[in-house]
Amino acid sequence: DGGITQSPKYLFRKEGQNVTLSCEQNLNHDAMYWYRQDPGQGLRLIYYSQIVNDFQKGDIAEGYSVSREKKESFPLTVTSAQKNPTAFYLCASSQASSYNEQFFGPGTRLTVL
Amino acid sequence: AQSVSQHNHHVILSEAASLELGCNYSYGGTVNLFWYVQYPGQHLQLLLKYFSGDPLVKGIKGFEAEFIKSKFSFNLRKPSVQWSDTAEYFCAVRSGNNRLAFGKGNQVVVIP
């Protein structure tokens, strides 16, 4: 089955630790995205990548980092500089053309203790 | 930057009632419009989309949305809801690039 996988589903970390969230897609999509979802806030874009080895900051990139070494993978690192990291993180992908929808993964719920 | 407004964050209604969720956006140029739905415990999925053509768009599960360019709106409707429509609904707008701007969502609860 084609789709987007995110692992793990639940993640717990101590304050001050960096943590990396995985996102893999086998849809052969060029573009990938990371969003953060907080109750009552909708989805906010953290980073996005339209092609391998290239990525851009979204609206709330501070305290996060990404890499795009392979077309199918777009890991997100939540660093200790992120002041409020506890949230639900969603990964998405799409074809690069602007006439395509984004497909979403199941999400990772990160809790920082 | 594009902004998207969704009103009435919490909506509670009975089965068979009609549902209308408002969505307004700020950008006045060419836009692509989407409604996504997130059922409890499930991932976000596309309900319907508008790119061009007929401004009345029909989606899955009996939902439809109307694009009114003069009002910068893309309201979602369903004539008769079911308990299974309980979910969070997000309006999203793309303008000028591949980025989507999302509204804050509508939490809809349908009482059997």
Residues of A in contact with B90 (CB under 8 A): 42-43
Residue of A nearest to B89 (CA): A42
Neighbours of A43 (CB within 10 A): 25
Per residue of chain B (112 residues), what is the pLDDT tens digit? 788 999 878 999 999 999 999 999 997 778 899 999 999 989 899 999 999 899 999 999 999 999 999 999 999 999 999 999 999 999 999 877 778 999 999 999 999 9
Instruction: Choose the closest CB to A104 out of B6, B44, B103.
Output: B44
Is B98–A96 a contact, with Cβ atoms under 8 angstroms apart?
yes
Looking at the complex, report in whole angstroms how far the Cα of residue A79 sits from the nearest Cα belonging to chain B.
24
B12 touches chain A (CB under 8 A): no
